[in-house]
Amino acid sequence: MKSRFLTTATSLGILLSLVLIGCKPAALYQYGAAKNSISSKSIYADMQRAANWQMDSIRHRGWRHPIQNWTSAALYTGLLAWQEVSSDSATLAFLTNIADSLQWKLKSGPDRYHADNYCIGQLYCRLYELHKDPVRIADLKALADTLKNRPHTESLEWKNNIGLREWAWCDALFMGPPPLAMLAKVANDRNYMNLVDKLWWRTSDYLYDKNERLFYRDSRYFTKKEKNGQKVFWSRGNAWVMAGLARVLEYMPEDYWDRRYWVAQFRDMASRISGLQQADGTWHASLLDPASYPGKETSGTAFYCYAMAWGINHGVLDASVYTSTVDRAWEALVGCLHPNGMLGFAQPIGAAPGYVNYDDTELYAVGAFLLAGKEMITLHKKTE
C-alpha cells in the first residue's frame, strides 16, 4: 500500500522548519539576501565554459567511464539541456554519434535490468523526439515491457544483488524512472507511466523517512549514525531523488491520476532540503552532519539547484520562497568552476558522504550543472 500524504508548504512553514532543524538567525537572514550578479547571459556563458571543457576533455583525454554507463548517461542529460539552450550543432552531433555507436542499445547480460544501465534511455528518448526513428527507442521499449511483466514482490533489503532486479537504492530513482517516463510520453503509452508510478512508490515506501523528509541510500543505512549522532542522509543520494522527481514530473501528464502525490513529495523534500543549505551556498556531503564534511560539494548541489529551479519554473514551488535558494546555489557552483571550465568539488563515485577536493570532477556533476543552468536561464529571463 502507498503511504502518502499531502502538505501545503507556505513561507511561514518553511521558516519554522528551518528553526526546528537548528538554523541560526544569521543563516536565515542570508537566505533572503539575493545577489544581482546572475543574468541569463552570465548563466549561458558559464554553461558554455563547462560544456566545452567537458567535451574537449573527452575528445583529447578519453572517457573517464564507459560511454554507456550511468555516469556518462547523467552527463548526456546535461549536454542535452545545453544543446536545447544553445542550439549547438556540435553538441547534438556529439550526442548522436554516441547513440549511433551504441546502436541505440542498452546493456545486455545479467545486469541489464540494473537501473544504472538504462539511465542512457534518457538520451535515446530525447533524440527520438528530434527524429522519430523507432530504432532509437526499440531496446528501451523491450526492457520496459519486461519490467511491466515482472511481479516486483521481492524485498528491497540490500542483499542478494537486489539492485539487479529492483530500485532498491535511492540513486536508482534518477537512473530508472526518468527514461521510462520519457518513453511513456514519446511512445504515447501510459502503461509505462503506470510502471514508473508503481515502482517509485514501492521504493519510496521503503527508503523515505517521512519524519526527516529524506531518503536513505539503501537499507544498510537504516541504523547508521553520523559522528554527531544524526541519521546518515547522503546529499547526492537525495539530490538524485529530487532530480528524478523533477524529470518524471516534466513528462507526466498534468491529468495523471497520481500526479498530486508526486508534487506533494517534491514539495516536502524541497522545503526540507532548502533549510539544509549551508552558508557557502552548497549542500555538504552529509545533510545532517555537514560539519564532519565541511567542504563544498557540487554534484548534489547542482541537482538540487536544477530540481528547485525546475519547480519554480513549472509552478510547483513558490518563487518568492525558493529563488534566493537556487540563486545562492548557482553562485556557489559557478565559484567552483576552474578558469578552464572544469567543475571541481564533485564527490567521487560512492554510496555515502565523503570528502571532496577542489580538483575532484565527475561527469554526473557536469551534467547536473548544465541541467541547472537551463532552468536558471528560464528563471532569470522572466525578470530581465
Active-site amino acid positions: 171
231 backbone dihedrals φ, ψ, rounded to 5°: -65, 155
Q: How far is the first Cα of the chain from the last one, in angstroms, to the nearest whole number?
A: 47
215 backbone dihedrals φ, ψ, rounded to 5°: -100, 135
Q: Are 98 and 86 spatial neighbours (Cβ–Cβ below 8 Å)?
A: no
Q: Which amino acid is at 264?
A: A
Count of positions (residues) in the chain: 384
Q: Interhelix angle for 89-101 vs 70-86, to 10°?
A: 150
Q: Which residues of 201-229 are buried (b: 16+ CB within 10 A; e: fewer)?
A: bbbbebbbeeebbbbbbbbebeeeebeee
Which of these, 33, 81, 77, lies nearest to 327 by C-alpha position? 33
Q: Which three cell numbers stand for residue 165?
A: 532486479
Helix (H, G, I), strand (E, B) or coil at 225: strand
Cα 341 to the chain's mean position, in Å?
21
Q: Are 125 and 179 spatial neighbours (Cβ–Cβ below 8 Å)?
A: yes
Q: Is 340 exposed, middle or buried (0-12, 13-18, 19+ CB in 10 A)?
A: exposed
Q: Which three cell numbers stand for residue 168?
A: 532498491
